[in-house]
């Protein structure tokens, strides 16, 4: 993050991405309290920080709005497109090595081998239209929802300044609340993509993040009493409902907002404490926070590596490799999944950076010659 004053936000993203991987590790049991606890708030943390980084932008004319949307959305869209197309091209390979079983459903999806040009083009069109559904990239629903939020929120900011009926700030808040209500209603309609519904719901969290940026000099995430209260509140609420924003599911709007706010404060206060007390841990979490999209992309492949290690030592049936979220992720095996789920994306990121560096040096040497 450019401003080291807000380094704790990158640390918070690092904590949240670890929680996401851990949540997927234990998702084999939907009744698991750890899974349920993590899902109460971890995605809200990402959306709040994204709203903070919106930095209260305003758009004086349509050109400013379009330029911002091109710059902001293009980066996210190309990242999503690159990996969805890559995994599409690898579909047959993944089936051949057992990552997918064409006879089984994964998250309601049957991954079939690419056997014709027409089928390939059909899936490619879905990807281009932000409807990619590769199970190994299921976490990229976050990018799709974030693109929708950035687009919608920017439009709201632009229209609020152009309309002359009410105060722009009041217009913004009314529009955001309406979006939230619409998103809550979308839970009950199966034909509406859940990623879109989640985007409408998260618009309110995104706006709160933007408000936090506006009042950044007044906000302090260092009250240990409130931190403990937030943690205890989430422990209690964990027994009374559930949240899963990848499918836009939550017990009720009030439950969603309370859990989100408690979780946001908890993670931001912990990250602020780590930033002050531990340089090494801060550096590590900050690094993870800066590669969250890479971790979202590759952590399930990391799980496959953990499963292969399990098969070597447990001598279990190799067909279980097609299980999306792992095999017997209890006890010490959970640690292996967490290490592989974080470790593989880190290795990929480090390798990618070295390749880019080597290529830059090669281009520079050729230019000098």
* 17-46 pLDDT per residue, tens: 999 999 988 876 555 788 899 999 999 999
Q: Is residue 12 part of a domain?
A: yes
Enclosing domain of residue 252:
4-299
Q: Is residue 304 part of a domain?
A: no
Q: What are phi and psi of 105, to 5 degrees?
A: -90, 140
Q: What are phi and psi of 364, to 5 degrees?
A: -65, -40
- How far apart, in whole angstroms, are the C-alpha atoms of residue 339 and residue 327? 15
Q: Is residue 270 part of a domain?
A: yes
State yes or no: pLDDT of 2 exceeds 60. Answer: no
Q: Is residue 209 part of a domain?
A: yes
Name the pairing type of β-strands 105-106 and 243-244.
unpaired
- How far apart, in whole angstroms, are the C-alpha atoms of residue 111 and residue 166? 51
Helix, strand or coil, per DSSP, at residue 76: helix
pLDDT tens track for 226-279: 999 999 999 999 999 999 999 999 999 999 999 999 999 999 999 999 999 999
End-to-end CA distance of the chain: 36
Q: Is residue 131 part of a domain?
A: yes
- How far apart, in whole angstroms, are the C-alpha atoms of residue 209 and residue 153? 12
Q: What are phi and psi of 9, to 5 degrees?
A: -70, -40
How many C-beta atoms lie closer than 10 Å to residue 208's C-beta? 19
* Better pLDDT: 367 or 187: 187
Q: Is residue 62 part of a domain?
A: yes
DSSP string of 218-283? T-----HHHHHHHHHHHHHHTTT--EEGGGTEES-HHHHHHHHHHHHHHHHHHHHHHHHH-HHHHH
Identify any residues that bridge with 110 across adjacent strands, giving them in sequence order. Answer: 105
Q: Is residue 342 part of a domain?
A: no
Q: What is the pLDDT of residue 365?
A: 78
Residue 6 banded pLDDT, cuts 50, 70, 90: confident
Q: Is residue 358 part of a domain?
A: no
Helices 292-314, 331-368: crossing angle, 10 deg rounding = 130
- Nearest alpha-carbon partner for 8 in 212, 204, 259: 212
* pTM of structure: 0.92
pLDDT tens track for 135-192: 899 999 999 999 999 999 999 999 998 888 899 999 999 999 999 999 999 999 888 8
Q: What percent of the chain has pLDDT over 90?
A: 66
Q: What is the pLDDT of residue 361?
A: 83
State yes or no: pLDDT of 329 exceeds 70. Answer: no
How many helical (H) and strand (E) elements, i.e. helices and strands, does the chain have? 14, 4
Tally of domains within the chain: 1
């Amino acid at each position: 993050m450019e401003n080291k004053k807000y380094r704790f936000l990158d640390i918070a993203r690092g904590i949240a991405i670890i929680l996401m991987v851990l949540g997927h590790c234990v998702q084999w049991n939907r009744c698991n309290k750890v899974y349920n606890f993590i899902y109460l708030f971890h995605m809200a943390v990402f959306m709040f920080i994204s709203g903070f980084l919106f930095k209260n932008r305003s758009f004086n004319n349509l050109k400013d709005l379009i330029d911002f949307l091109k710059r902001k959305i293009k980066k996210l869209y190309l990242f999503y497109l690159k990996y969805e197309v890559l995994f599409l091209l690898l579909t047959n390979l993944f089936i051949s090595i057992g990552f997918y079983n064409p006879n089984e459903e994964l998250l309601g999806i049957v991954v079939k081998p690419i056997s014709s040009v027409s089928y390939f083009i059909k899936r490619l069109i879905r990807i281009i239209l932000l409807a990619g559904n590769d199970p190994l990239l299921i976490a990229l629903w976050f990018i799709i929802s974030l693109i929708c939020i950035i687009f919608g929120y920017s439009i709201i900011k632009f229209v609020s300044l152009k309309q002359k009926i009410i105060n722009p700030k009041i217009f913004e808040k009314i529009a955001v609340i309406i979006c939230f209500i619409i998103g809550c209603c979308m839970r009950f309609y199966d034909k509406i993509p859940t990623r879109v519904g989640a985007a409408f719901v998260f618009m309110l969290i995104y706006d709160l993040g933007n408000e936090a940026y506006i009042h950044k000099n007044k906000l302090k995430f260092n009250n240990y009493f409130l931190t403990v209260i937030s943690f205890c509140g989430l422990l209690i609420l964990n027994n009374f409902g559930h949240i899963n924003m990848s499918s836009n599911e939550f017990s009720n709007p009030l439950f969603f907002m309370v859990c989100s706010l408690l979780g946001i404060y908890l993670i931001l206060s912990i990250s602020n404490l780590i930033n002050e007390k531990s340089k090494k841990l801060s550096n590590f979490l900050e690094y993870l926070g800066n590669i969250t999209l890479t971790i979202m992309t590759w952590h399930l492949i990391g799980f496959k590596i953990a499963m292969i290690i399990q098969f070597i030592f447990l001598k279990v049936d190799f067909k279980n490799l097609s299980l999306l979220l792992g095999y017997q992720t209890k006890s010490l095996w959970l640690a292996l999944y967490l290490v592989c789920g974080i470790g593989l994306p880190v290795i990929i990121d480090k390798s990618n950076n070295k390749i880019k560096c080597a290529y830059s040096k090669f281009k520079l040497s050729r230019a000098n010659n």
